[in-house]
Amino acid sequence: MKTTKIALLTSLLTIALFFSNSKVNAQAKTASASIKGEVKSELILTPTDVDKLPKTSISQKDRTDQEHTYSGVELGLVLKNAGVTLAEELKGENLTKYLLVEASDGYQVIFSLAEIDPAFTSRKIILANRKDDKLLAADEGPFRIIIEGEKRKPRNARQVISLTVKFAN
């Protein structure tokens, strides 16, 4: 009788772990970021989608002075794919547009579109989905903003889930 109860409990625990792991895997597969607002077409990007786009890498030291290589897609290309006003169209009132980056923990960062547009700057800003050739861990991903040459790192937002283009009032 006791052996049967142990076997039953073991089976139930195995089933519970299976469904728990399935849920975690499903969440990892559905990790995404939306691109919305003043865009021609709203997009939902997954890490797999970013892997299909032209790659850019930036090496950066972390808080412990350890160097890491982040790779992803240039943020300007992501915005261009959504139909955001860039390049020759980025003038006049369009220069009052900005990008609001939002993270899953509520953290927010703002960039002017000119900061991101390769027609205005040679500094790279990427939407990274990989760190040292591995998908970002849950505490950093699904995406992270990485800025080349930034002296301070607070705008390197992690756990990015939303990119919204807006007009300043």
For 105-150, what is each residue's pLDDT tens digit? 999 999 999 999 999 999 999 999 999 999 999 999 999 999 998 8
- The reply to whether 110 and 76 lie within a common domain is yes
Asked if residues 141 and 129 have their Cβ atoms less than 8 Å apart, the reply is yes
73: part of which helix (H) or strand (E)? strand 67-74
What is the C-alpha to C-alpha distance for residues 142 and 118, in angstroms, rounded to an integer?
A: 24
- The reply to whether 134 and 61 lie within a common domain is yes
C-beta atoms surrounding 12 within 10 Å: 10
- The reply to whether 24 and 36 lie within a common domain is no
User: What is the per-residue pLDDT for 12?
Assistant: 37
User: What is the per-residue pLDDT for 58?
Assistant: 96
- The reply to whether 19 and 69 lie within a common domain is no
- The reply to whether 7 and 69 lie within a common domain is no
Find the CATH number of the domain harbouring 155: 3.90.420.10
Residue type for 159, please? Q
Q: CA quadruple 149, 153, 158, 161: dihedral positive or negative?
A: negative
- The reply to whether 82 and 148 lie within a common domain is yes
- The reply to whether 78 and 41 lie within a common domain is yes
Using the 8-state DSSP alphabet, how is residue 99 labeled?
E
Q: What is the pLDDT of residues 12-51, one digit of tens each?
A: 334 443 444 433 334 344 689 999 999 999 999 999 999 9
- The reply to whether 48 and 97 lie within a common domain is yes
- The reply to whether 53 and 17 lie within a common domain is no
What's this model's pTM, rounded to 2 decimal places? 0.80
Task: Name beta bridge partners: 37.
Answer: 165
- The reply to whether 21 and 41 lie within a common domain is no
Number of domains in the chain: 2
Percent of the chain with pLDDT over 70: 82
- The reply to whether 105 and 118 lie within a common domain is yes
- The reply to whether 64 and 139 lie within a common domain is yes
- Domain hosting 17: range is 1-30
What is the C-alpha to C-alpha distance for residues 32 and 34, in angstroms, rounded to an integer?
A: 7
